[in-house]
A and B are shown apart, each in its own frame.
Chain A
């Protein structure tokens, strides 16, 4: 391992901390009306409310951490859902289907970038 291999980790750490300092609040009273822009995101909204919102209400912190201010790429979102992390359980495909997970990822990435 050399110093160049540290750079991506340092960069991701810095990005994580920088965005984690921003607010995760995305509710309608805070940011205004924000309708899903397409079918994938609309399905993701429903799936998120079925499987995720109990611990991450509206993508904010609750029982679990906030999601709306974490710069996770789609692949990392899916990895964490499938494998779990910390107190978060793993959600196997028999629980959240591949299609639902695709939609949840699309929804989370859209919600994160909604101003």
Chain B
């Protein structure tokens, strides 16, 4: 009788046992799904900047992993936010120090010569930081600068004399004037980042600091654009949090727009690659519709390429999940900002037919994908050469030209690394390394990374390797790759904290092996 009861109980357990088992199964399935999905919604951000740092910075090349047959060494330490490197015809090595960092650090931008043994000599000092990028051509240096004052392109002679080649560039916002690159025929190409994340001035810009300094600043297109008239309502930090204010695209904070409104284009403009003669003269637009074209480089076959930092999850028009891009620049082309990611439009993405459900890749949490700001688009954007990590801040790059180094024709890109959670949440540090890219296939491979079970900056790993690579450049012989490491910048409790004197220059050379 007892056995029969047990058997019957197993076949038909009491309701509380059924409920208990069901609860266990649901719990296990939830744990499994959560593990497989990374518990994204539940997880806190785990970016590489979300760490505590106490100077001095450790520097140890043995903490960096390279492919077999390469070695890395330290060239200089103790720099304050270096951003660019160049070489003169005599083998001299020169670097720029920005004089500014996110986190509202303001100092003096400088051009330095690196001396044998790691010392530095000041060549020139400026007053309009940040100095971003550096190139050398026909006996002069070329740098870009500006965030408190409008952007400039500067020519610096070896004796320190500074000549302004271009002035009044729209660099007062989120992104600056970047990475000058001089062509053999004497044109200085440079990138100009946008004022905003995605076209609308908002509270994120107030938090960054520049909206307080320049309340009338906004993006300017290179050509006339017609708006859809979308406006975004926020509180007004200039009056009170209860005061609601409406802001449209390509206009100052607190200015609403209307459907069909024409925004006049102009030069200089935001989100563009422009050029000016090395001896000065009028500006020309090379390409536009970019977001933050941080760096430029010529490929061995003579094409111009640009890295382009993509959208963040912030502000009035946040965009989720857009990795940085490497573009081959076609003269005159429009590259899609603020309504595309690469060649994908935000709404109805991937060529969704009319009436079909839009592809919501770019939604921000429960919100929908951002709606389009432009009624008509100048053209279909080209296809990117490569898609890099979301928030990787893929910046300065150069092409290998010498088979003695290997990977000839591939682009080597410095990845500054994420600034989560300010730019959006990540589950693990992104960037903080140097990658190489086959620009014909878009395939990306790590080249110089910190050792450890997971990727991250040295300060996060509590080690002595790479921190924030911001630029790379081959020496004139093409046998050594120099890495400009910006230094430590943490993000904690809503506060970005840069650490002066933590910048490093690294050098990678080939020691052997087929490649």
Contact = CB atoms under 8 A, between A and B. Distances in A.
Nearest to B325: A54
Contacts of A9: 25, 28-29, 32
B38 A65 contact: yes
A55 interface: yes
Interface in B248-299: none
A57 B437 CA distance: 13
Contacts of B448: 29
A95 B349 CA distance: 9
B184 interface: no
Nearest to B388: A54
B449 A29 contact: yes
Contact of A54 (B321, B359, B360, B446): B321
B25 A60 contact: no
B460 to A, nearest CB: 13
Contact of B454 (A1, A12, A17, A23): A23
Given A65-B38, A87-B41, A94-B350, A6 B24 contact: yes
B435 to A, nearest CB: 9
B7 interface: no
Interface in B315-372: 320-323, 350-352, 359-361, 363
A49 B443 contact: yes
Given A64-B427, A87-B41, A55 B323 contact: yes
Contacts of A89: 321, 359-361, 363
Nearest to A10: B28
B241 interface: no
Given A27-B446, A86-B41, A20 B35 contact: yes
Given A1-B25, A12-B32, A62-B426, A57 B389 contact: yes
Contacts of B363: 89
Contact of A46 (B39, B352, B443): B443
A72 B32 CA distance: 11
Interface residues of A, number: 49
B454 A60 contact: yes
Contact of A85 (B22, B37, B67, B390): B37
Contact of B443 (A10, A45, A65, A95): A45
Given A9-B28, A55-B321, A49 B386 contact: yes
A32 B427 CA distance: 25
B391 A63 contact: yes
Contacts of B28: 6, 9-10, 13
Nearest to B70: A29
A72 B33 CA distance: 11
Interface string B53-71: 0000000000001111000
Nearest to A66: B428
B246 interface: no
B39 A86 contact: yes
Contacts of A65: 36-38, 40, 427
Contacts of A30: 65, 446, 449, 451
Contacts of B35: 13, 16-17, 20
A64 B40 contact: yes
A49 B444 contact: yes
26 contacts: A6-B21, A9-B28, A9-B32, A12-B32, A13-B28, A16-B36, A23-B453, A50-B387, A58-B446, A60-B428, A62-B391, A62-B427, A63-B390, A63-B427, A64-B38, A65-B36, A65-B38, A66-B428, A70-B36, A76-B36, A86-B39, A87-B320, A88-B37, A88-B40, A92-B359, A95-B359
